[in-house]
Amino acid sequence: MRYLLLLTLISGFILPVTFDVSAQDTQSAATHNTRYVRLFLHNGGMFEGEVLEIDESTFLINTLELGKMRITKTDISSITYISADEVGQMTLSNNRKGDINPQPTRYFFAPSGLQLKKGEGYYQNAWLIYNQVSYGVSDHFTVGMSMTPFGTGGTVKFGGKLSDKVNVSAGGIALVPFTGDAPVGIGFANITFGDERKNLSISGGLGFSDGRDNITMLNVSAMLEVSSNLWLITENYQVFQTSSYSGNPDNVTIISMGIRRASRSRDILWDYALIAIPSEEVFGIPWLSCTIPF
């Protein structure tokens, strides 16, 4: 059962996907008769509409509600070109920019160094048996509750930014079995490089079960945004367990790779992956989970 708790997944390398707000945009726009764009500003604002003109320092767009607007490039944090029918479909909610990943704080199961915003939360169900509810008490502190057929427990996570592209967190998850056995769980600390669109996390953890086994683990996870509704996710685990009975180490490698898809309204997120445990010669275990942000 301890491996059910540890099950979390693969390694990857994230390539930068930041738009260069430069003369390149001018050349790109000039090659199309009609283009539509979604602009996010450093202050959290968002504007979208038809591109009328792009010069060295500004965008001129025709918005649905405000008409023509000229926006200075230095005020823009990100640029996404969209189709005409996507204009007006993106809304801002929960203090998070509308097209930013609505679930950047974890991978399939493993946490990242990124935090839920204050007042944000989500419900996750995996394999129809693992249920988790997490809530951002503040921008730096998250609490959660979990329920499975085997037991119930809780999670805590505390973290923050070291810089714009580096986040750290620490916390733990524990499960109290319904059988009356000793609790099982993991304490962890991690560092995440990147942002909500693309990131790489390295985590270390100490697990406990019945007091007879010493469990340590290393996790490397990564996420890459492919589009506003699709992310590639990968997680790797190397688990080291030493039994007090034999003193012999038992090493387990867990690998997985898959995708996260969001519904058009982004109310529901679906995670699909395949898991391999090479040390046990086990391959192709399916992972399926559903997450509802709130």
- Tens place of pLDDT for every residue, the chain, 294 residues? 443 333 433 333 333 333 344 434 443 444 446 789 888 877 667 888 899 999 989 999 998 877 888 999 988 878 888 888 878 766 544 444 455 567 889 999 999 999 998 888 999 999 989 999 999 999 999 999 999 999 999 999 999 999 989 999 999 999 999 988 888 899 999 999 998 889 999 999 998 776 556 789 999 999 998 877 889 999 999 998 766 555 556 789 999 999 999 876 667 899 999 999 998 889 999 999 999 988
Cβ-based neighbours of 49, under 8 Å, separated by 6 or more: 36, 37, 61, 62, 63, 64, 69, 87
* H/E run at residue 237: strand 230-243
For the 2-16+96-293 domain, the top CATH level (class) is mainly beta
Q: What is the DSSP string of 157-184?
A: EEEEEEETTEEEEEEEEEEEETTSPPPE
The pLDDT of residue 43: 64
Which structure tokens are listed for 101?
């990943």
Burial of 54 (0-12, 13-18, 19+ CB in 10 A): buried
Let me know if the fold of 2-16+96-293 is the same as that of 23-86.
Answer: no
Give CATH for domain 23-86: 2.30.30.100
* H/E run at residue 240: strand 230-243
Which of these, 87, 169, 88, 181, lies nearest to 134 by C-alpha position? 169
The pLDDT of residue 12: 35
Domain parsing of the chain, residue ranges:
2-16+96-293, 23-86
**pTM summary value:** 0.67
**C-alpha to C-alpha distance for 155 and 77, rounded to whole angstroms:** 33
